[in-house]
Amino acid sequence: MNEVSELSADVEALPVKAVAEMLAVPVTRVHQHVRDGLYLSFRRDGVAHIPADFFDGNTVVKGLQGTIMLMRDGGFADPEILRWLFTEDDSLSGSPVASLRAGRHREVKRRAQAMAF
């Protein structure tokens, strides 16, 4: 996993095992989801975690995977993408991940595309 450990401590995160239980899939599938860009992980205290904001109940927030893929295709590394998703953006009235959660995935993708290309 391409992971970042600098994500703010106030970002609620779930250990990979908890995500696997929530999604009712094996832990190996969660690792595959991270490799495939369905969502991203980071290390906290040496343990892989996934931000809780990436999920709406037991499903992945709409638009997250497309945003990750856009940015990867534009040359951004996973740690950079993760930081960007949780950085406040005045033009979005919050962070990109908050905008995704609010259903504004098209706007987030436009910002990601502008950054990536």
Task: Determine the pLDDT at residue 87.
Answer: 94
Convert the pLDDT of each residue in 51-95 to its tens digit: 999 999 999 999 999 999 999 999 999 999 999 999 999 889 899
- Given a contact cutoff of 8 angstroms between Cβ atoms, the answer to whether 49 and 13 are in contact is yes
- In the structure, what pLDDT confidence band is assigned to residue 6 with cuts at 50, 70 and 90? low
| Entry pTM | 0.89
Query: What is the share, in percent, of the chain residues with pLDDT greater than 90?
Result: 80
Convert the pLDDT of each residue in 32-58 to its tens digit: 999 999 999 999 989 999 999 999 999
Q: What dihedral do alpha carbons 54, 7, 89, 113 form, nearest 10°?
A: -70
